[in-house]
Amino acid sequence: AQSVTQLGSHVSVSEGALVLLRCNYSSSVPPYLFWYVQYPNQGLQLLLKYTSAATLVKGINGFEAEFKKSETSFHLTKPSAHMSDAAEYFCAVNPKRAGSQGNLIFGKGTKLSVKP
Amino acid sequence: KAGVTQTPRYLIKTRGQQVTLSCSPISGHRSVSWYQQTPGQGLQFLFEYFSETQRNKGNFPGRFSGRQFSNSRSEMNVSTLELGDSALYLCASSFGLAGRNEQFFGPGTRLTVL
């Protein structure tokens, strides 16, 4: 079965420091990969997506992620954290199997705290 | 362009009752997917509707059902509510079948079952 693993349920960084949120997937073929952010009492907002084009994907709010097939990883990074980045981040995969369109499989999420 | 809207935003029910949640997708979007979010299980896919047809279904009991109307608005229904159904229910819409297409999420309906 397809799965997504996010290492670290909580990550804390200082304002201005590097943000690194880890995501590993299990899939027999490279899937479509997504990072979403959720602010309190809100729905999910797409940060970026990988759909078999460039392996380094740039998203909104200064975030980017690199698809590494050999490591089955899709880690999310931002060079300099801002207080407004504090939220919960979800990595998701669409396995691209027939009949699986729409079936996003989410990781458990990583709560990012940003210290002043 | 208005985003995905969900009504109601909050709902309190008691065990055994049934509930209907509503989702209005972004104008022009034909796919609507539903997800359940709980602290224990995280985000889990319920089902996807496209052009009034259920295209994909997650691993939930038959108490969970949905439908989509000709204007793409969707409803989901949960019958015989259980305490474990307490969750945030998220609706997402996309222009085509979800997958490589971006899904836009609504703010969710928080259901509490007492």
Q: For A47-92, how does the pLDDT look when each residue is reduced to its tens digit (9 = 90+)?
A: 998 887 788 999 999 999 999 988 999 999 999 999 999 999 999 9
End-to-end alpha carbon distance in chain A = 41
Give the bridge partners for A110, in sequence order: A89
- Give the mean pLDDT of B52-81: 95
The reported pLDDT for the residue numbered A99 is: 47
Q: What is the CA radius of gyration of chain B?
A: 13
A23 DSSP 8-state letter: E
In this complex, do A44 and B105 lie within 8 Å of one another by their Cβ atoms? yes
Q: Is the pLDDT of residue B98 over 80?
A: no
Find the mean pLDDT for residues A87-107: 77
B7-23 pLDDT, tens digit each = 999 999 999 999 999 99
B70 phi and psi angles, rounded to 5 deg: -65, -25
Contacts of B100 in chain A (CB under 8 A): 32, 49, 51, 94, 96
**Which residues in B lie closer than 8 A to residue A105 (C-beta atoms)?**
45
Q: What is the pLDDT of residue A103?
A: 75
Other CB atoms closer than 10 Å to residue B64's CB: what's the count?
Answer: 18
What band does A26 get if pLDDT is binned at 50, 70 and 90? Answer: confident
Is there a contact between B17 and B81 (Cβ–Cβ < 8 Å)?
Answer: yes
**Average pLDDT, stretch B43-64?**
92
Q: Which residues contact B41 (CB under 8 A, 6 or more apart)?
A: none
Of the residues A36, A42, A50, A104, the best mutation for testing chain B's interface (the one with the most B CB atoms within 10 Å of its CB) is A104
Q: Is the pLDDT of residue A29 over 50?
A: yes
**CB distance A45–B105 less than 8 Å?**
yes
